[in-house]
Amino acid sequence: MSLNPTRDRYESINKRNYRSAIKNLLENEYKILGSRKIIEMLSDDLEDLHREYYPKRNLSIKMRQIL
């Protein structure tokens, strides 16, 4: 048993991201067969496409500003 349960609870946060969700989707839902490298390359390309077509917006909302 771990001495620090808080560390174990939050340790996997860095592993749960958009890229890992894509890899999981390709492997489990679409049943894409291939090596890990192929799936990683596909997920990288999909993530790059997402960044290209949906760039981050700088939404700085100031006080008393209505959207």
Burial string for 23-41 (b: 16+ CB within 10 Å, else e) reads beebeeeeeeeeeeeebee
Is residue 60 included in any domain, yes or no?
no
In terms of residue numbers, what domain contains 30?
Answer: 6-53
pLDDT of res. 61: 73
Q: Could you give the CA distance from residue 57 to residue 26 in angstroms, rounded to a whole number?
A: 28
Is there a domain that residue 48 lies in?
yes
Residue 62 lies in a domain: no
What's the whole-number mean pLDDT along residues 9-33?
A: 80
User: Is the pLDDT assigned to residue 8 strictly greater than 80?
Assistant: no
In a domain, 20, yes or no: yes
Tell me what the pLDDT averaged over the chain comes to: 79
pLDDT digits (tens, 9 = 90+) for 31-57: 777 788 888 888 899 999 999 998 877
User: What is the arithmetic mean of pLDDT over 2-12?
Assistant: 68
Tally of domains within the chain:
1
